[in-house]
Amino acid sequence: MGVKAKKALKKKLEKASAQFALSDPKNSAPDFLPLEGGPARKLPVEKPQESKATVLYIGRIPHGFYENEMQAYFQQFGTIKRLRIARNKKTGKSKHFGFIEFEDPQVAEVVADCMHNYLLFEHLLQVHLIPPEQVHPKLWKGFNYRYKPVEWVQVERKRQNKERTLEEHKKLVERILKRDKKRQKRIEAAGIDYECPEILGSIQPAPKKIKFDEE
């Protein structure tokens, strides 16, 4: 086949492809120019993925804005499934951050958009959505537990007023005298003329346990 025959065949193929593209209504308005050998194809339309996150992280929670207050405030947006504020295990005080779970993902998204950097009691709330795959499995363990702080005054009073044996009382007196000697040395080193009172007279002896007959 000569050169002229090849050029004529190529022109025929181009005319045929152009006529086929015009005759097909689906390919009348292609998104991009067709390549040689076939019509153009439209790209599939990607739908935006809907958010399924229902758990919110809330940071910089002010003092006094606790579980009951948060429940009453955030339930205006929608139904709350669970709510938790991180607290100190020893004192029960708030750590100023917590978590809220809503039933509807759209409600959680609206809360994150509206309440982020919201000024509340001179604190800017930090509200963020937590993806479902990043929610810790133990996040809601004991979320409805109300911690009662330990009354350390009563614990210390009970420890100080407990009954001591003779050996325990002797060690207590030795510790008191040792601290008193260190205090007297510091007073002398400071150049202060002060007569420290005797401390043994103020210490009460250990009570003796009296055994009574069963009769």
Computed from CA positions of residues 53, 54, 55, 56, in that sequence, does the dihedral angle turn out positive or negative? positive
3-state class (DSSP) for residue 120: strand
Q: What is the pLDDT of residue 19?
A: 67
13-72 pLDDT, tens per residue? Answer: 777 766 655 555 555 555 555 555 556 667 677 766 777 899 999 999 999 999 999 999
Q: Does the structure show a pLDDT above 80 at 2?
A: no
Q: Which long-range contacts (CB under 8 A, 24 or more apart) does 88-97 make?
A: 89/147, 90/150, 91/149, 91/150, 92/147, 92/148, 92/149, 93/149, 94/61, 94/63, 94/66, 96/59, 96/60, 96/61, 96/62, 96/63, 97/57, 97/58, 97/59, 97/60, 97/61
Does the pTM of the predicted model rise above 0.75? no
Domain ranges for the chain = 55-134, 163-189
- The architecture (CATH level 2) of 55-134 comes to 2-Layer Sandwich (3.30)
78-101 pLDDT, tens per residue? Answer: 999 999 999 888 788 889 999 999
Q: Which residue has better confidence, 15 or 137?
A: 137
